[in-house]
Amino acid sequence: MAKGMYHYIKEAWRNPDKETLRNRMVDWRKSNSIVKVDKPLRLDRARALGYKDKKGVVVVRVRISRGGRRGTPTKKGRRSKRQTNKKVVKMNYKWIAEQRVGKKFTNLEVLNSYQIGKDGLHYFYEVILLDPAKKEIANSKDTKWITNPANRKRVHRGLTSAAKKSRGLRNKHPTSKVRPSVRAGLRRGK
């Protein structure tokens, strides 16, 4: 059976050429942390997440520093409980990348994102954005939901796919204390 183009793109990204990817990441490190790009690098992934090559759809590459989530221990005080070195991981890197892009492009809405590479210092993501003001977005049955005022600033309210995963909302087990939110679950559990 014949396979389509997207199948072969997906297969190529399962085991990418290391030299090509390394050279790309060298260029990405030299550029700004948030860069608007003409076309998505992983076309198969972008199309699966809602990308279409038309007006009102923007793709942005973003660079996020890895690590640095471990807080510094306290310098003063003698209580051993306070001397521990805590690691605070409340948001995944993908959600942080989406939020930074959402803060830079205030007139656009974050649709989704995907990873395009990582090295020892950085993660690299491509974020798909939609412009609700464009008539091409408002008239399309696939994207007109984003023009609803209830969907404004969805990335900052934790409504994107990466944010929902980070908030633990993919687990729908009845004993899970993350619905409707972690704080509400903790209040209910007392």
Question: Any idea where the domains of the chain sit in the sequence?
Answer: 7-72+80-189
Model confidence at 156, pLDDT cuts 50, 70, 90, reads very high
Q: Can you name the residues that pair with 70 across neighbouring β-strands?
A: 87
Sign of CA dihedral 148, 103, 95, 52: positive
For 3-47, what is each residue's pLDDT tens digit? Answer: 999 999 999 999 999 999 999 999 999 999 999 999 999 999 999
For range 85-113, the mean pLDDT: 92
Residue with tokens 């090559």: 53
Q: Which residue has the higher pLDDT, 121 or 74?
A: 121
- CATH architecture label of 7-72+80-189: 3-Layer(aba) Sandwich (3.40)
Q: Output the pLDDT for position 190.
A: 61
CB 115 within 8 A of CB 133: no
Query: Does residue 164 register a pLDDT over 70?
Result: yes
CB 128 within 8 A of CB 57: yes
* Bond from prior residue into 180 cis (ω within 30 degrees of 0): yes
For range 129-134, the mean pLDDT: 96
